[in-house]
Amino acid sequence: MKIAIACDHGGYPLKDALMQVIASMGHEVVDLGAHSYDANDDYPDFARYIGQALQHGQVDKGVLLCGSGVGACIAANKQTGVRASVCHDVYSAHQGVEHDAMNVLCLGSRIIGPQLAEDLVRAFVSASFSGEERHNRRLEKVNALEKAG
């Protein structure tokens, strides 16, 4: 799979280590920045880069980092076809993909440490949507909400 990763300055401390984790799992990492620490950068810009990469089919999933994960998640979910969530527990990191087709994992580097972040990314990247009828039905309803605006 191709996995995008992006962060603002709040998420920057986790990015390099998580890129290595994804690569070590045999996936291609698409690094959408930030490429250096800039205390004045803004998380919506990085949410947009991941959203566009998903919308254009350039990546299969994204990992988006900010200080808490919250701002990144809010911004990511404004974009059509993006289903993002902050998951700071391993169950949600895989169940969100399996049941809800989550395609962006948002993490807060001021909240969690590098080992938990690695476990969360491993769970997220390894998980697949179940395709079960009840999950498809719910996904269609979520898509209808998105279309309704």
Assess 68 for contact with ligand RB5 (CB under 6 A): yes
Q: Which of 105, 135, 101, 128 shows the shortest CA–CA distance to 11?
A: 105
Residue (71 or 94) nearer to ligand RB5, CB: 71
Beta carbon of residue 64, minimum distance to ligand RB5 (angstroms, whole number): 10
Q: Which of 100, 93, 104 shows the shortest CA–CA distance to 138?
A: 100
Q: What is the dihedral of CA 36, 39, 45, 46, to 10 degrees?
A: 50
- Phi and psi of 55, rounded to 5°? -65, -35
Is 94 annotated in the active site?
A: no
Member of 10, 51, 62, 96 binding ligand RB5 (CB under 6 A): 10
Please choose, out of 18-26, 66-74, 80-88, 129-137, the segment that lies near ligand RB5 by the rule CB under 6 A. 66-74
Assess 85 for contact with ligand RB5 (CB under 6 A): no
**7, 9, 56, 66: which is the annotated catalytic residue?**
66
| CB neighbour class for 26 (10 Å; exposed up to 12, middle 13-18, buried from 19) | exposed
Residues in contact with ligand RB5 by CB under 6 A are: 8, 10, 43, 66-68, 70-71
